[in-house]
Structure 1
Amino acid sequence: MFVTCKNILNLPGLEKMKVVAGKGGLNKVIRWVHVTEVPDVSNWVKGGELLFITGVAIGNNTELLLQFVKDINMRKLAGLVINIGPYIKKTPKEILDFADSVDFPIFELPFEVRLIDITQNICRTIFTEKLEKESMSNFMREIIFEDVNITEEMLNRAVLYGYNENKNYCALVVDIDNFRLYLKENELQDEDTISNIKNRIQETIEYVMYKNNKKCLYTMQSDAFFFMVPMEKENNNIDYIAGTIKNQINKTICFITVSIGIGGVCNHLRGFNKVILEGRKALETTKFYKKNDCIINYKDLGIFRLFFEINNHDEMRKLFNENLLKLKKYDEKNSSNLLQTLIVYLRENRNLGKTAEILYIHRNTIKYRVKRIEEILNCDLKDEEVIFNIKLCIRIGIFLNLIK
C-alpha cells in the first residue's frame, strides 16, 4: 500500500544502500524522491520526500550538514540519502546522533552507484503503487455503486487488490463535514487545491490502516471515502480505527473535520454494497441532528433503521401530523418552543428538575408547559402508550426534517 523507507531496501539495485541512523523512523512513507545540493529546500518540498545529496555544496562542513538535516526533519521529509565519496567521506557522528534522537532515517550510498538508477527505481515503484491504487479504486466504485454480478473473474481481481475470502469485512464511510460550505466561505475554486485536500485526507486514512496492519479495499466519490476493512474475528477494533482516523485528520488538516459512519460486517464481495449503504445511512443521521466531527454505527441507529427501509413516507408524515402537528403550528404562531420542551422532557424521562436545568428555566415553568402541551395535543403524558407514539413521531419528524 505504501512505499516506505523500510521497504525500498528490498528493491533490486538498492543492495548497497545502508541505514546508518534513525531506524525507528523506517516506516515513514516516501511520496517522491529528489536529488539536491542546495541546503535551503524550504521553497519546494511538501513533506514525505526522500532526499539524495552528494555533498557538493556542503562538503565537510558538519555544522551546515547538521542544520540541513534538522531543517528537512522539521519539514517532515521521509529521510536523507548521503552519497559517500569525495565530498562527504563519512556521515559525521553529530548527524547520526541527531537522526537517532528524532527517528529520522539516514542512509549511506557508495559514490560509484549511479543515483539516476536508484531514484528511477524508487520513483517507478511509487508510480506503480499509485496506478494500482487507482485501478483498485475504480474496481471498488463498480462493486459498491453499480449493479454488477460478482463473477469468478471479479473475485480474482479483488484478490489481486488484497481481498481475502477468509476474512470478514466491515464498512467505514468517511465524509468531509460541510466541505462545500468550507470551499465557498474560503473562495476555493481551484481544482488542484480541492484535490490536494482530498488526497491528504485519503493518505491519512491509508496511513492509519497501514499502521494497524489493515489491507483495505477502498474508493472515493464526491466528498466521501469508502473503506472495506478486514476484521480479525478475535479483535474487532473498528471503533478504535475510526476514532484514530478522525483524530489524525483533525491533527493533520486543522481546518477540516470528518464524520464517520460504520456499516455492518460481511463475509463476501457481493455484500460490500449493502454494508457500505449502512455506513452511509449512519452518516445521514448526523445531518438530522446537525452533528459534525462524530462517529456513528449503523447498529446503534435504533428505529431509524426501519425508517430507512420505508420507501413511501406519506404514512409516516401522516402519523407525525396526527400526533404533533398541532404543537408545531402552535409554536410557529406564538413564537414559543413547546415542541422542544416536550423533546427534552421525554428524553429526560419526564424529570421536571433535569428538564428545567437543561432549558435554563424554572421548574414551575416546565410544569406549566407540560400542562399546556397536554391541552394542545389533548393527551395524557403519563400514559405510556401516548408516550410511545409521541417519541416515535419525534423521530419521524427528525428523519423527515419536519423538526429542525
Structure 2
Amino acid sequence: MITIGKVLQRRFFKGYRVLAGEGGLDREVQSVVLFDAPDGFKWCKGNEWVVTTGYLFLDNIELFEELILFLHEKNVAAIGIKPDRYLKEIPNRIINLCNELKFPLISVPWNVRWSDIINEVNTMAVTNFILKMAKKEDNLSKAFADIKTTNNVKDIVMALEDELYRPVELLDMLNEKIYFKDKEKDLDQDYYNRLWNPPCKHEKEVLCDNLNIVRYKDLDGECGYNTWVILPIESYGSKIVYLVIWEKDHRLDYYDILLIRLSYLLLSYIYDKSFITGIYEGRFQDELVEEIVESDQLDRQRIFKKAGKLNVGIKHEYISIVIEEKDADINLYEWRDDISQYIYRIFGRENTIFGLLAKNQIVILHSVDGKNRKSIYHDIKQKSLELINSLENRIEGSIFRGGVSHTTGDIVYMNKGYDECTKTLKIGRYIYGEEKIINYKDLGLFGLIEMDFFTREGLEILREDLAPILDLEDRYELLETLKAYLKHNCNSNLAAKELFIHPNTVRYRVAKIQEIIDIDLQNPVERIKLEVLLQFDELLIK
C-alpha cells in the first residue's frame, strides 16, 4: 500500500509542505486527479490525491469546506493546492477543518506541472505493485525462477486482489485449476462456460481491443455478481489462462486497468517461460520413457534419478497407454505442443508423464494411486478415447488407435505395461476391427499369443492349415462365409442372413471348404482352432 506520507518522502516531492491534517498521512493513494470544475469532485471514488489551483475557492470558501467534507467522506487520500496562484493564504477555518478530520492539505509548488505529479505517483504505485508481486526481490527474474510450482501465479493473484480490493481468480486451463487469493480448486468446465456465456440476460463491453479485456454485466441480477471482467492470456498462440476480476460495487478505473495490464505481462512471462522449459522437459521425458519401455535390463536407481529431476513421482502406481497414428506421413513431433495440452487437460499434469517414440507413437504413463480397480480401466478407456478424438479433430487426416495395459506398477515396471499395449494394438486390430481403444484384458485368450507369432516364420506356420483355400480366386468369399458359419454355431440360415446370400450358397461354400482342407466342423476343437485362425484372415491372405 502507498500512503500519502510515503509519496511526500520521495525526492520529487521535496518542496511540498503539509499545511494541515498531518494525522492522516497514512491514507492510501492509488491515483492523482485534477479538480478545477465546480462539481468535478463528485466523481471521486476514494484513494485519490486531488490536486487543484484553488481558483474555484478564491471567493467561495464554502465550496472549499464542502469539497473537503465530501472528499473525507469518500476516503480520498489528500488535497494538494497551489496557494501562490490564486489563494495567497489558506483560511484558518479550512486549516482547522483539515486538522479535525485528519485530512491532509498539501502545498504544491506553483511551477510544478500536474502531469509530472500524476506520472510520479503512478510510477511509484506500479513499482510498488511489481515489488509486491516479486516478493521484494532485487532481481525480478529470481521470483519466477521455479516455474514448475504455482506459487508465483498465486502471488500475482494475491497482490492484484489486494490492490484492486476486488475478488480475483485465475483459471488455468492447462492444469485445470482455479487459483484464488488463498486457495485453489479444480476447474469446472461448466463454471468456465458460464463466465463466457452467462445464462442470464447480460451485456458485453470490450475494455481493451488489443488484450481482449471484456466486461460482462448481469442485467437481471441472476448470476450472483453485477459485473465481472475477463482477460485471456496466451502462450505461443494458445489461450491457456483467464484472469477474472469481480467488480462488486465499483467499476475498474484507469489505474486498475493499468495494474491488470501489468499482471498480464507478468503472467505471460511465467507461462511463456513454462512453455519454453516444457520443450526441454518434453525432450527429457521422451528419453526417460524410451529408456523405460525399450530397455531389457533397467537400472532402477538411474531411472529413479532421472524421474526425480523431472518431478515425476517414483512411488506412484502407473498404468500404460500407447496411442499410435497410422499415417506414415504425419510426424507427431511437429504436433507436440498440441499433444501436450490435450494430454494434460484430459489426464491432468500432476498425475501423468508422456513421451513420443519414433514419429507416430505416444506413450502415456498415468498414475492410478488409490483408484477403484474396477473403474480404472473404464475411466482410462474413456479418457484415451477423448484424447484420440481431440487429436483427430486437430490433425487433419490423422487416424489414431490406442491400447491400454492391464499391468500397473511403479515407473520402472512400466516396460511390461508398454509391451501389453503394443500387443493389444497388434492383435486387437484383427479381433476388434476399427475399435479406437482396446484394453489388454479385452484380448482374453488372444493375449497369450506371443509376438513371435507375427514374424514371417510364424505366419507361414499359421497359413499351413488353410493354404489350399488361400490360393483360390474366391478365397475372400470362402473365408468370409466360414467366419460367419462358425460365428453362428454352424447355422447356415443365420450365416446367410448376415452375408445377404441364400442358405444354400452357404452350404455349398462350406462343403467346398471341407472338401479342400479335409476338416471336421463337427469337432469342437477343430472349430475353435479355425475361429482363432480366421481372426487373422488379413495376415493369412497376405
- Kindly state the Cα deviation for residue 195 of structure 1 after the two structures are TM-superposed: 4.4
Q: Does 1:174 align with 2:323?
A: yes
> SS of the residue aligned with 1:26?
strand
Amino acid at match of 2:409: N
Distance 1:362 1:54, change over 3 A: closer
In structure 2, the residue matched to 1:306 is 449
Query: Which stretches in structure 1 are left out of the alignment for 5+ residues?
Result: 31-52, 84-88, 93-106, 184-190
Higher relative contact order (CA 8 A, sep 6+): 1
Residues 239-267 of structure 1 show CA distances to partners (whole Å, capped at 9, x for unaligned) of 32332232344246424442111123242
Q: Residue 171 of structure 2 corresponds to which residue in structure 1? A: 26
Q: C-alpha separation between the residues in 2 aligned to 1:252 and 1:316?
A: 34
**Quick one: distance in 1 between partners of 2:212 and 2:333?**
40
Task: Give 2:385's aligned residue.
Answer: 246
- Within 5 Å, give how 1:130-169 maps onto structure 2: 130-169=279-318
Query: Relative to structure 1, is the Cα distance of residues 336 and 266 closer, same or farther in structure 2, using a 3 angstrom cutoff?
Result: closer
**Distance in 2, Cα, partners of 1:291 & 1:112:** 53
Shift of 1:341: 0.7
In structure 1, which of residues 211, 230, 240 is the aligned counterpart of residue 367 of structure 2?
A: 230
| Change in 2 beyond 3 A, CA 1:383/1:249 | closer
**Equivalent residues of 1:246, 1:257 under 8 A apart:** no
The one-letter code of the counterpart of 2:467 is: L
Corresponding residue of 2:351: 215
Match of 2:424 in 1: 282
| 2:468 is the alignment partner of 1:326 | yes
The residue matched to 1:402 in structure 2 has which SS? helix
SS at match of 2:540: coil
Give the residue type in structure 2 aligned to 1:386. E
Mapped contact 1:266–1:275 kept (Cα < 8 A): yes
| Residues 289-322 of structure 1, C-alpha deviations (whole Å, 9 max, x = no match) | 694451112223223532425587636623531x
Distance 2:317 2:459 in 1: 36
RMSD across aligned C-alpha pairs, in angstroms? Answer: 4.5
CA distance in 2, matches of 1:395, 1:157: 42
Counting aligned pairs with the same residue, the percent is 17
Gaps of 5+ in 2: 1-145, 176-205, 217-226
* Contact kept in structure 1, 2:160 and 2:263, CA below 8 Å: no
Task: Determine if contact 2:317/2:411 at 8 Å carries over to the other structure.
Answer: no
- Report the equivalent of 1:199: 337
Q: After TM superposition, give the deviation of residue 171 of structure 1 in Å.
A: 0.9
Q: For residues 379 and 112 of structure 1, what CA distance do their matches in structure 2 show?
A: 80
Q: Given residue 421 of structure 2, which amino acid in structure 1 is its aligned partner? A: G
Q: Distance in 2 between matches of 1:209 and 1:279?
A: 18
Secondary structure, counterpart of 1:264 in structure 2: strand
SS at match of 2:365: strand
d(CA) in 2 for partners of 1:61 and 1:172?
40
Normalising to structure 2: TM-score of the pair? 0.52
Deviations 1:331-374 (Å, cap 9, x if unpaired)?
x2x57611221122112222222211111111222122222222
Alpha carbons 1:397, 1:403 under 8 Å: kept: yes
Of the three residues 486, 507, 530, the one matched with 1:390 is 530
Deviates more, 1:286-295 or 1:380-389: 286-295
Distance, in Å, in 1 between the alignment partners of 2:317 and 2:214 is 56
Matched with 2:482 is: 342
The 3-state SS of whatever aligns with 2:339 is helix
- 8 Å Cα contact 1:55-1:82 kept in structure 2: no
C-alpha contact 1:282 1:297 (8 A) present in aligned 2: yes
In structure 2, do the counterparts of structure 1 residues 250 and 357 end up closer, same or farther at CA, with 3 Å as the change threshold?
same
* Bigger Rg, which one: 2
Instruction: Tell me how far apart the structure 2 counterparts of residues 263 and 175 of structure 1 sit (CA, whole Å).
Output: 14
Any idea what the Cα deviations from partners look like across 1:142-183, whole Å, max 9, x if unmatched? 22224453242431332443444543221100112x3236x5
Aligned to 2:251: 90
Per-residue displacement from partner, 1:378-404 (whole Å, max 9, x unpaired)?
Answer: 232112232233234334655xx1236
In the alignment, which residue of structure 1 is the partner of 2:116?
Answer: none
Aligned 8 A contact 1:17 1:108 in 2: no
Alpha-carbon offset, residue 223 of structure 1 = 0.9
Separation in 2, partners of 1:317, 1:251: 40
